[in-house]
Amino acid sequence: MMMSLFRKKEAQWYSGANGLFSSVAQVIFIREIFAVFSGNEFLLSLALSIWLLFGAAGNRLSRHILPLKLTWLFFLYLLSCVGGILIIRIIPRFVLPGELQSPLFITIVMLISVVPCALLTGALFGVLTNSYKGRLLYRWENVGTIAGLILVSWAVYHTITHLVIILSAALCLLPVLWKNRVAFGLAVLSLLIFVLIEPQSNKWKYGGEDYSVIYGREGEIAIDNERKVVLLNKRIYRMGYPHPSVEQSVHVPLSIRRADRILLIHDNGHSAEIRKYNPSELVCIESEPLLTDSGCICQTPERLSRKKQFDVVILGSDVPENMAMSRLFTEDFFYRIKEMMTDSGLFSFTLSLNSNYLDKYEKKLKDLLIATLQQTFSVVKVFPGEGLTFVASDIPFEFATVCKVPASYFTDFILPSVSHEEIVSANQNTVKAGINKVAHPLILKITLERYLDKFNVSTTVILLLAFVLLIISILFFMRGGTLFSIGTTGFCAGSYTIIVMMIYQSQYGTLYSRVSLLMIALSVGFVIGTYIKKFPIPDIMVGLYVVLSLFFLTMFRNPPEILFYALNSMMGVIGGAQIINCKSVSWVKLNAADLVGGVAGMGLTATLILPGFGLAGAVTVMAIVKAASLITYFCFSRS
């Protein structure tokens, strides 16, 4: 009788529409959260975890929802997405400008804004699979997910507004809602209201200050009316006002020796100071196309040709606070820069740290960067003043005591105030430091600890909380050998995706605009996996794949871009093949276990496992998890 409630094509369309709208909503929610709370990997993993966890909860609650209410579910689904976006945007109106928000406050905001939409997307899939063939609908939901990710990838790449993206995705829900004219009318009315207030709601994020908001590939850009201040994801990206640290970052390296060819990575006013030296060639690159001008090109340093040789390379980025920024301070990146320099070339960057009173995290960061630079360059020195300026080369050098060009603040205030003793002190390593690598991003660990310490949140407490939540999730969602196996595969898929993204970011530097493409590859793999009829010993297959494929990926010094998509897609094939061949457990429970496993994999890998133990540790954890799953499966099989 339940199966008669849906015709085959209707069920497929509903499932595909759910997948399409869900994938678009998830990306928009994350971009909005990043724009309001200046996102980092902690917030990214928190947002993904909440989405997947409550999607799984919606799956389990679906058996209490009648399929006859389906049109109203889709209406509430659309309304929760639009309402959630507005809730996130209005939060800055109720806090002090520039006030840093605690993890607890951000979590509460996410629970209010994201949870309703996540619950409903999970509930919709559960209602549909309870009423029709789960195997077929799982395939169609992933087809819809692929379509949604293609839509949002294309829109982000072409800097389309979030309003247009949401309206485009909502079109797939309107045919479903047409069956209930009241629900359809209310949905259209809700969208019209959103269209009317959306332009003004964009300004809510900036506390009522008058900013023009545009959407870039890597996040949201806000520009003040005087075009003096540019924000990217609510962090200062560029300032048109004179800035002492910018003068220092340019004049310290350029006063050391003559430079004819200069490479500038991210211009925060640096180019104007550099041009005072009349270099024969100045190459300026920016990663965001909307922030380039006649003097800069849109390019990431990772994709820049290494055939050119520069006398000085200046990195204009400040203290790294997320994966996108921290990749610029790894041993791997420093080696890439060295390949683009002449034999006597200089590489320099300046971090806005208090050079006289470094806290324990700033000391760790300084010593870590010195140690990492020393792995690549023969000579590394630090100049204190308006922040710390790091200069590295393979040829010995000394800091100049005079500036070769007019630079009022640097000449009149910075140089006279910095003594020889302060320079000696700044170059002393006080903390035993490791090496910041792509395979072990220690900077992410330092920035996460520093972020949590600002709110007196202990890392130990976070670990204990994560452990307790993990145990509760296993007991509630993964009870039994089959569900535990599916859940651990979800863990491996989530962890594997984070690792692939991290390595991709270090190679190409455009993860935030290409993350949807990597997720498309994973979803394509899920669809292909649904056509595999037999999949024996899945735990061994998954364990071997994650270990061997990541070992294979790290063998390449410069892996081709297509390889990342292929490997992520294959992970999807394996995951899809396993879940489609589990016929003894309901689809609702299988999907919930898979989602919860993905929560644990993405969340723990991005925030704890990778920063704490590196790539080798993450691979080891995945291998142990699948070994435990295999043992558990055999124990349940015999009992």
Q: Tell me the CATH number at 364.
A: 3.40.50.150
Residues 34 and 219: beta-carbon distance below 8 Å? yes
Give yes or no for a contact between 233 and 219, defined as CB atoms under 8 angstroms apart.
Answer: yes
515 falls within a domain: yes
Domain contains 588: yes
Q: Which pLDDT score is estimated for 66?
A: 56
Structure tokens at 135: 């195997």
Does 418 lie in the same domain as 281? Answer: yes
Backbone phi, psi, residue 463, to 5°: -65, -45
List CB contacts of 627: < 8 A, sequence separation 6 or more.
539, 543
Task: Give the pLDDT confidence score for residue 138 in this predicted structure.
Answer: 79
Residues 464 and 428 in one domain: no
Residues 277 and 186 in one domain: no
331 and 364: one domain? yes
- The CATH number of the domain holding residue 565 is 1.20.1250
| HSE, side-chain direction, 13 A CA sphere, residue 117 | 30
Instruction: Provide the pLDDT for residue 82.
Output: 94
Q: Profile the chain (639 residues) by mean pLDDT over runs of 10 residues.
A: 53 85 91 82 78 83 68 90 93 78 86 92 81 74 89 87 92 86 92 92 76 80 78 76 83 91 88 89 85 75 82 90 82 92 94 81 90 94 92 93 85 87 82 80 85 78 77 78 87 90 78 75 88 86 92 86 92 89 78 84 84 89 90 67
Q: For Cα atoms 550, 551, 552, give the angle at the middle one, nearest 5 degrees.
A: 90
Q: Is residue 228 one of the residues assigned to a domain?
A: no
pLDDT of residue 207: 66
Domain boundary among 208, 226, 256: 208
Number of Cα atoms under 13 Å in the Cβ half of residue 473: 28
> pTM of the predicted model, to two decimals?
0.82
| Six-digit token string for 46 | 């928190």
Are 524 and 426 part of one and the same domain?
Answer: no
Q: Element (H or E) spanning 368, and its range?
A: helix 360-374
Domain membership flag for residue 227: no
427 assigned to some structural domain: yes
**254 and 305 inside one domain:** yes
Which tokens sit at 427?
């170059």
> Is 621 domain-assigned?
yes
In a domain, 277, yes or no: yes
The Cα–Cα gap between 25 and 83 comes to: 12
Domain hosting 156: range is: 1-208
Residues 173 and 321 in one domain: no
Q: What's the structural domain count of the chain?
A: 3
Residue 285 shares a structural domain with residue 373: yes
Read off the tokens for 166. 């949401």
Closest CA relative to residue 146, chosen from 290, 289, 24: 24
Same domain, 176 and 278: no
Q: Is there a single domain that holds both residue 197 and residue 261?
A: no
Cβ contact 238:228 at 8 Å: no
Shared-domain flag, residues 415 and 462: no
CB distance 524 to 516 below 8 Å: no
Q: Is residue 444 part of a domain?
A: no
Return the pLDDT at 286: 84
Question: Where a domain ends, among 208, 225, 250?
Answer: 208
**Domain boundary at 182, 208, 234, which?**
208
pLDDT (0 to 100) of residue 511: 64
Maximum C-alpha span of the chain: 87
Q: Is 388 found in the same domain as 490?
A: no
Q: How far apart are CA 513 and CA 437, in angstroms?
A: 23
